[in-house]
Amino acid sequence: MTQQKGVTSQLLIGIESAYKTEATAGFVMPFNSSGLAPGQTLSQAATITGTRNPVQPFAGNRDVAGPIVVPADSIAMWYWLQAMFGDPVTTGSDPYEHEFKIGDSMPSLTIEHQFTDLGTDAYVRFLGCKIGSMNMTFGGDGELVVTLNVVGASESNETSSFDGSPTTVSLGRVQNFQAALTEGGGSLSNATELALNIDFGLDTDNYVIGGSGVRGSLPEGIVGVSGSLKTLFEDVTLLNKAINSTETSLKVTVTSSASSILEFEIQELQYERSTPPIEGPQGLMATLNFQGYYDNGSEASAIVARVTNSEAHA
């Protein structure tokens, strides 16, 4: 028998027309790993039968959840950002800039793991999937990746794909050394790390009677935008902003070329009050946690994501 290899596995996604309705158009995505998996707990029953032997356990509700790690880029990220924010506003003409903002809803996905090394093609299909949160860390010399924490409704094993002729999505990789930071409208040149977290506020508790233990709905709530900024401790400018609860902004732009850019902008944020610890004789670092929000920013969105590429996506 042939063992399935990760290198020949594929990840297929498609936008659903309605929650838990199988998508028809599929896209083969570049990815580093996928931990998306089903779950259903077995719990010990408290039934007494006259002996100390346990009785048959009972099953809980079904769950689908797990992280998908993808390379940061300017082409495939369009599809993941669409899943997080909905359709963008597109301007320009080769290159095109696609701007994503927080809206009132987010689409659900059909996601499929394809295991084509097996004698009979095996496809594990997940319905009703939404991205619960996104995490990125900029800085360092490692691969720049995006972690997408996915929640879904159900899974099934299939012998064929939901799209027999899917579109293979290209990769327009962007890298850590290509990143630049703007803080408060000015260039920030002494940052060593920026961690960015977006929580889409999914309500995962909507299990309904008669639903066979599957989520009946997966509504989205208030989006949380947070993170941390780590800099060389060279002055107290940022510390004073934290102490005084001064509103400021952050923008990270990763530019591979004029037609390959990934950008995130937080127009309004505040830092948590903090001071750098003295942990040894080496140079000190200042790390400030922050929270983004929308009050009166011109973009009317707590966070804005932009990708620039050569694809119109009409």
pLDDT (tens digit per residue) in 212-246: 999 999 999 999 999 999 999 999 999 999 999 99
- Specify if 50 maps to a domain: no
The closest of 30, 32, 19 to 75, measured between CA atoms, is 30
- Specify if 281 maps to a domain: yes
Number of C-beta neighbours around residue 46 at 10 A: 8
Q: Which residue range is the domain that position 116 belongs to?
A: 6-38+59-309
The confidence score (pLDDT) of residue 116 equals 84
- Specify if 1 maps to a domain: no
**pLDDT for residue 202 is more than 70:** yes
- Specify if 257 maps to a domain: yes
Domain count, the chain: 1
The confidence score (pLDDT) of residue 1 equals 74
- Specify if 157 maps to a domain: yes
Number of C-beta neighbours around residue 234 at 10 A: 12
- Specify if 99 maps to a domain: yes
- Specify if 222 maps to a domain: yes
- Specify if 139 maps to a domain: yes
Mean pLDDT of the chain: 96
Question: 220 vs 130, 169, 211, CA distance in Å?
Answer: 9, 27, 20
Tell me the pTM.
Answer: 0.95
In the structure, what pLDDT confidence band is assigned to residue 118 with cuts at 50, 70 and 90? confident
The confidence score (pLDDT) of residue 119 equals 66
pLDDT one-digit tens code per residue, 261-280: 999 999 999 999 999 999 99
Look up residue 138 and give its DSSP letter: E
Cα separation of 76 and 81, whole Å? 9
Cα separation of 25 and 203, whole Å? 27
In the structure, what pLDDT confidence band is assigned to residue 31 with cuts at 50, 70 and 90? very high
**pLDDT for residue 196 is more than 80:** yes
